[in-house]
Amino acid sequence: MKNILISLSTIAVLAMSSSAMAAVHQNTGCGLGSIVIKDQSTVVMQVLAATTNGTSGNQTFGISTGTLNCQAPTKVAMNDQAQKFSADNMDSIAVDIAAGEGESLDTLLTLINVENKTAAAETLKNNFASVYTSSSVTSAQVVDNIIAVL
Amino acid sequence: MKQGLKLLTLVVSFFSFYLFSSSYSLASSFSYDAKALSENHYWQKLLHFKNGQSEIDSVEFFLAKNGKTSPQSELEATISAIIEHKKDIFCRFPARIKWLYQQIPTLKEKQSYQKCTELEKLIKEYQPSKAVLVFPTAHINSPASMFGHTFLRLDDNSGLPLTANAINYSANTQETNGFVFAYKGLFGGYEGRYSVLPYYKKIKEYSNLEKRDIWEYELNLTKQEMVRLLTHLYEVKDTFSYYYFYYYNCSYNLLWLLEVARENTNLVNTFSFQVIPIDSVRAVQNAGFITKAVYRPSKAKKIKALVTSKENLSEEKPSRELKKAYQAEINTQLLQLRRSENKIDKAEYTQQLIKNLNQRSKLPKLPALKIKKPENPLLSHNTSRISFAINNEEQILLGFKPSFHDIYDIEKGFVKGAYIDFFDVELIKEKNKSIKIHELNFVNINSYAIRDSIFKPISWGVSVGLQEFRDKLYSKLTTEVGVTYAIAEDVFFFAMLKPSFYYRNSSDNDNAVFGIAPKLGVISNSDNYKVGLIVENNYFNTGGDLFKAELFSTVTVTKNTAINLKLASYKNENHKSVSIYSLSLFYYF
């Protein structure tokens, strides 16, 4: 009985809830813009994601999930995981390079086997425009540019 | 003679050949005690067996027809499948099979053990080196997520959390109707499944999008234990069990994985009717898994820290470049926030981003951001509470709630200002009267979300239940909406408007009463005590307006006990006032 009462109240509340968010992992391709968008479609639809902690993307198992069809960088050999990381994190890597530090940048530098990360970060910061050459630059180009600059 | 010998040799050879080649037809050394093995706790964990049946609902998970309810049948069917070398068997149930070969050494004589190549490849790719239980905390404005969430993270040996893999259990659905969602989510209308995705994707969701802090609890799983976990995950990856928001939820189902990773761990059996995420973390801590807690602040916190740092800079020349750098960083973060709320489109966003970052790259690097680390959620009070109170009107009040946290509770380890309770009941015993219900809230939620220069959430609340109103028991529905501001560190002030509706099944004039009240409050929080003042003036359509002012304080005695004092003053429209002072004891369990 208690469970039913709790449940009924929860339904009412969840349905009325106003600002839960559903995460939409957009397939952003190979460039900038890999930001997760809040699904604004309906207030109540958003409640679902919070209730069930699910995402509206496909549930997957395994690392190399979702083919990106992105070009691979030419100046360094990158495995699937590294390529996926660089493509999915273009924005945060850009922010980190401009700031001169950051977790995403550190991760990328490790993935392409750069040893002296602090020095690399400084060099890249001073050459930001040579790495992120335009707003439509691709992840393969960014990685190649990084190698060229360092 | 020679021919006799020849014949004898032939016969002996024939028998020897027969003896040694077809061990099949002889008294084989292969045997096993099906009953004993099936009663082995580990076998039952592999089947997610609890309360008489497996919690897995996929038919494909069972080889025996009654495999769901009989661990023994399932064991026998698995062994038969191994011996018959049933198609893909070694890849379908690698964890079960590995365990069976260990328990039955003679099994290899019937069928040689084979590894599953795909699984081996996966384990090689994952290179698991560290396991972490990740706990994104509550989101203040969202009731369902007010309980938080948990998932596991397996780090590879690069030491980079971002490229680690997150193991998540969640419900799958494409439903768009809110009521249907909520209903199905509560009553097992969805399939819950395990999935794996890169950790950076989870961070994007919780920290960046949802402004939720994340606590990462490092676990002491050995490499062998992590491999066992992955091996078992591989055999349940295509299965589902029905998802129940309160119990068989994200947090509960991770516990099975930990129980399989480490034998003789007792986690799932410590829960029998509700699993609040922080309680699952507590269970994992009590079982001795947690070594360290790491705090990952939300993007919202980082932005606030940037703003504060910038404001704390002096106006002198050396600071000017730094000030510009802070502003540039803030601008970028706000731009990304706007994009995440879909307020600008992708093209505009990417162009503006590059422009911002070009400028940013020419400005100095910033000093390390100072973000105050909140208290570890594991230090928070336990989930259920009973209370005992006496007051100056010689009344005794007994309260009980199974979950979770309200305005009177100490906020250490909780998201401040976020209150959510289910089934909070208070009984009252007055002199010479029998005990009765004073108040019963089926659900009580308040979200006092602080507004500042950047974030402007609306504060709101809802309460549904039964309440003693004018000495009679009414059904009650109240809602409130307003704003909350921080007036000092750990002190917040709220101003709300609270409409209410009381209903009683009777033919009296006041069987349905509407009310509206402005409500103001100030709450000051400290690690071990809190003080609050709440003032409201209720106007009712049937008259009988009521003003109430309450000053309260709660003081921690131990982690799970506290003393609460309330001084409440009521004044009705005839200016008749009544003061009620009460002292309560809170006990959390």
DSSP string, B369-402: P--PPPPPGGGSPPS-EEEEEEETTS-EEEEEES
Q: Which residues of chain A have a CB within 8 Å of the CB of B190? A: 52
B110 and chain A: CB distance < 8 Å anywhere?
Answer: no
Instruction: Name the pLDDT band for B24 (thresholds 50, 70, 90).
Output: very low
pLDDT at residue B173, rounded to an integer = 76
A19 with B149: Cβ contact below 8 A: no
Establish if B124 touches chain A: CB-CB under 8 angstroms. Answer: no
Please state, in angstroms and rounded to a whole number, the distance separating the CA atoms of residues B521 and B448: 10
* Chain A contact set for B145 (CB, 8 A): 20, 50, 53
Q: Three-class SS of residue B24?
A: coil
Alpha-carbon distances of B407 from A114, B281, B317, B524, rounded to whole Å: 51, 23, 46, 11
8 Å CB contact between B221 and B229: yes
pLDDT at B377 over 70: yes
Find residue B193's DSSP bridge partners. B170
Which residues of chain A from 114 to 143 reach within 8 Å of chain B, CB to CB? 125-126, 128-129, 132, 134-136
Reported as a pLDDT band with limits 50, 70 and 90, residue B203 is confident
- Report CB contact under 8 Å: A62, B194: no
Provide, as residue numbers in chain B, all residues whose Cβ is less than 8 Å from the Cβ of A50: 139, 142-145
- Say what the pLDDT of residue A130 is: 94
Query: What number of C-beta contacts closer than 8 Å exist between A and B?
Result: 245
What residues of B are in contact with residue A2 (Cβ under 8 Å)? 402, 423
Closest-CA distance, B337 to chain A, in angstroms, reads 9
Predicted pLDDT at A67: 46
Minimal Cβ distance to B182: which of A10, A18, A59:
A10
CA-nearest residue of chain B to A5? B442
Give the DSSP H/E element, type plus range, for residue B200: helix B199-203
Q: What whole-number distance in Å separates Cα of residue B444 and Cα of residue B93?
A: 45
For residues B363 and B349, is the Cβ–Cβ distance under 8 A?
A: no
Please state, rounded to an integer, the average pLDDT across all residues of chain B. Answer: 90
Best mutation target among B139, B156, B200, B362 (most A Cβ atoms within 10 Å) is B200
Beta bridge partners of B402: none
Asked whether A91 and B153 are in contact (CB, 8 A), the reply is no
Which amino acid, residue B480? E
Strands A37-38 and A23-24: antiparallel
Q: Is the CB of B168 inside 8 Å of chain A's CB atoms?
A: yes
For chain A, how many residues are written?
Answer: 150
- Stretch B81-109: mean pLDDT: 94
Q: Which residue has the tokens 């336990």?
A: B382
Residue B258 C-alpha, separation from nearest chain A C-alpha, in angstroms:
18
Nearest to B205 among A23, A40, A84 (CB): A23
CB B165 within 8 A of CB B196: yes
Query: Environment class of residue B346 by beta-carbon count within 10 Å: exposed (0-12), middle (13-18) or buried (19+)?
Result: middle
Q: Rounded to an integer, what distance in angstroms lies between the CA atom of residue B346 and that of residue A36?
A: 11
Length of chain B: 589
pTM of the model: 0.87
- Contact status of A14 with chain B (Cβ, < 8 Å): yes
User: Scanning every residue of chain B, which has its alpha carbon at the shortest distance from the alpha carbon of A35?
Assistant: B340
pLDDT at A57: 41
Please, is B581 exposed, middle or buried when counting C-beta atoms within 10 Å of its C-beta (0-12, 13-18, 19+)?
middle
For B157, which DSSP code?
Answer: T
CB–CB contact A47 B182 (8 Å): yes
> 3-class DSSP state for residue B508?
coil
Q: How close is the nearest chain B Cα to the Cα of A133, in Å? A: 9
Q: Quick one: closest CA in B to A11, which residue?
A: B182
- pLDDT tens, B110-147? 999 999 999 999 898 888 999 999 999 987 777 667 78
- Chain A residues whose beta carbon lies within 8 Å of the beta carbon of residue B448: none
Tell me the chain A residues in contact with residue B160 when contact means C-beta distances shorter than 8 Å.
Answer: 106-107, 110-111
Q: Hey, is the C-beta of A149 within 8 angstroms of any chain B C-beta?
A: no
- The stretch B407-417 carries a mean pLDDT of 93
Q: How far is residue B102's CA from residue B100's CA, in Å, rounded to a whole number? A: 5
Closest CA to B251 of B150, B134, B377, B147: B150
Angle between helices A103-111 and A80-88 (to 10 degrees): 150
Residue found under tokens 């009654």: B66
Cα separation of B195 and A58, whole Å?
Answer: 9
DSSP percent split of chain B into helix, strand, coil, nearest 5 = 35, 35, 35
Q: How far apart are CA B64 and CA B59, in angstroms?
A: 10
Task: Flag whether residue A8 sits within 8 Å of chain B, measured between CB atoms.
Answer: yes
The Cα–Cα gap between B215 and B132 comes to 10
Residues of B in contact with A59 (CB under 8 A): 170, 172, 193, 195
pLDDT in the model for residue B178: 66
State the pLDDT at residue A66. 45
Query: What single-letter amino acid sits at A131?
Result: V
Name the closest residue on chain A to residue B182, using Cα atoms: A11
Q: Do A13 and B210 touch (CB under 8 A)?
A: no
Instruction: Kindly give the confidence (pLDDT) of every residue in chain A, 150 residues in length, as a single tens digit, with 9 standing for 90 and above.
Output: 455 555 555 565 554 443 233 444 444 567 787 766 665 444 444 444 444 454 434 444 544 444 456 778 888 777 777 888 888 889 999 999 999 999 999 999 998 889 999 999 999 999 999 999 998 898 889 999 999 998
pLDDT score for A69: 66
In the stretch 73-92 of chain A, residues with CB closer than 8 A to chain B read 81, 84-85, 88-89, 91
CA distance to partner chain B, nearest, from residue A140 (Å): 17
CB contact under 8 A, A125 and B361: yes
Sign of the torsion formed by the C-alpha atoms of A13, B252, A39 and B406 = positive
How does pLDDT run across B225-277, given as a tens digit for each residue? 999 999 999 999 999 999 988 888 999 999 999 999 999 999 999 999 889 99
Distance from C-alpha of A28 to C-alpha of B350, rounded to nearest angstrom: 12
Decide if B443 and A10 are in contact by the 8 Å CB cutoff: yes
pLDDT at B145: 74
Asked if B36 is an interface residue toward chain A (Cβ–Cβ < 8 A), one would say no
**What residues of chain B lie within 8 A of the CB of A113, using their CB?**
none
Say which residue the tokens 């002889």 belong to: B26
The reported pLDDT for the residue numbered B13 is 61
Burial of B198 (0-12, 13-18, 19+ CB in 10 A): buried
- What is the full DSSP assignment across B44-67? HHHTTEETTEES---GGG-SSTTT
- Among residues B300, B255, B254, B247, which one has the least CA distance to residue B275? B247
Q: Is A113 on the interface with B (CB under 8 A)?
A: no
Separation of alpha carbons B111 and B101, rounded Å: 10
Q: For B557-574, what is each residue's pLDDT tens digit?
A: 999 999 999 999 999 888
pLDDT of residue B26: 45
Closest residue on chain B to A44 (Cα): B178
Instruction: With beta carbons under 8 A apart, name residues in chain A contacting B165.
Output: 63
Does the CA dihedral B32-B36-B42-B45 come out positive or negative? Answer: positive
Higher pLDDT pick, A58 / B399: B399
- HEC-encoded secondary structure of chain A: CHHHHHHHHHHHHHHHCCCCCCEECCCCCCCCCCCCEECCCCHHHHHHHHHHCCCCCCCCCCCCCCCCCCCCCCCCCCCHHHHHHHHHCHHHHHHHHHHCCCHHHHHHHHHCCCCCHHHHHHHHHHCHHHHCCCCCCCHHHHHHHHHHHC
Tell me whether A106 touches chain B (CB under 8 Å).
Answer: yes
Task: Could you list the beta-strand ranges (E) of B396-544.
Answer: 396-401, 403-405, 418-429, 436-447, 450-451, 459-469, 472-488, 491-503, 512-525, 529-540
- Are A11 and B183 inside 8 Å of each other by CB? yes
Nearest C-alpha neighbor of B147 from the set B253, B247, B23 = B247
Question: Residue A90 forms beta bridges with which residues?
Answer: none
pLDDT at B17 over 70: no
Identify the three-state secondary structure at position B271: coil
Who wins on pLDDT, B332 or B175? B332
| Cross-chain residue pair B198–A134, CB shorter than 8 Å | no
Judge if ipTM > 0.85: no
Q: Is residue B119 within 8 Å of residue B91, measured between CB atoms?
A: yes
Residue B200: strand pairing partners: none
